[in-house]
């Protein structure tokens, strides 16, 4: 059974492996992902980056990094989500996303924003967000590089949090 828990320093090596194994991220992206992981590990009092890890039988299967968007009333960015390739498509990503939504709701957030690439390689990822109730709010042409747009997904939550 999958459990979702807070990040621990012993998870770092597993997360490095997952980020590399997905074969979806270039080195610069992995460096940024690790920077956020290290910030969360080394600055226990920071509140910008919240990281949760999906664990099955004490094996790390995936993780998610999200946090409040600075200077907004209740908007959260989902910065990173990754599941180990050998267990993708089994619902772990959905559990991580559901967990983020529950936490955001509990923190009185009302909007989650996720940015991803328009490249063909990211089609399963975009389908994953669509299947989980996210909609495309905007697409910025050639944002990452010519031919690679930034696709911005959003999901709004209950009125009571606004
Ligand atoms: C996107 C990702 C986090 C989804 O996690 P997951 O555990 O595979 O997703 P789930 O099992 O909950 O959902 C599977 C659905 O997502 C989609 N999907 C995305 N990647 C998939 C994969 N490699 N294998 C199967 N389904 C995949 C499918 O549409 C699938 O729908 P289905 O269940 O109707 O077939 C994961 O595939 C992943 O780590 N991908 C590579 C890294 C990445 O793209 N991260 C996001 C960067 S913006």
Domains and CATH numbers, the chain: 2-161 (3.40.630.30)
What's the confidence (pLDDT) of residue 158? Answer: 72
| Nearest atom (ligand 1) to Cα of 25 | 42
Mutate to test the pocket of ligand 1, among 93, 97, 127, 148 (most ligand atoms within 8 A of CB): 93
- Look at residue 153 in the predicted model and tell me its pLDDT: 98
CB 54 within 8 A of CB 90: no
In this structure, the strands spanning 111-117 and 148-156 are antiparallel
Q: What are the structure tokens assigned to 135, written together?
A: 């909609």
pLDDT at 160: 60
CA distances from 152 to 78, 79, 88, 112 (A): 11, 12, 22, 10
Atom of ligand 1 nearest to the CA of 117: 48
Q: Which mutation among 15, 61, 88, 118 tests ligand 1's pocket best, with the greatest number of atoms within 8 A of CB?
A: 88
Q: What is the pLDDT of residue 95?
A: 98
Question: Closest ligand 1 atom, CA of 83?
Answer: 39
> For the chain, which ranges sit under pLDDT 70?
159-162
Quick one: pLDDT at residue 161?
60
How far does the centroid of ligand 1 lie from the alpha carbon of residue 162, in Å? Answer: 30
């Amino acid at each position: 059974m999958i459990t979702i828990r807070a990040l621990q320093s012993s998870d770092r090596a597993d997360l490095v492996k997952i980020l590399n194994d997905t074969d979806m991220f270039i080195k610069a992206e992995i460096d940024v992902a690790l920077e956020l992981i290290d910030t969360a590990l080394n600055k226990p009092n920071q509140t910008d980056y919240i990281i949760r890890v999906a664990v099955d039988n004490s094996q790390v299967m995936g993780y998610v990094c999200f946090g409040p968007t600075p200077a907004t009333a209740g908007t959260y960015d989902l910065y990173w989500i990754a599941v180990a390739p050998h267990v993708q498509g089994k619902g772990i990503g959905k559990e991580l996303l559901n967990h983020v939504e529950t936490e955001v709701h509990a923190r009185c957030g009302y909007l989650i924003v996720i940015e991803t690439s328009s490249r063909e390689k990211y089609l399963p990822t975009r389908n994953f967000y669509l299947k989980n109730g996210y909609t495309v709010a905007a697409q910025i042409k050639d944002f990452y590089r010519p031919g690679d747009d930034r696709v911005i997904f959003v999901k709004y939550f209950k009125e009571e949090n606004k």
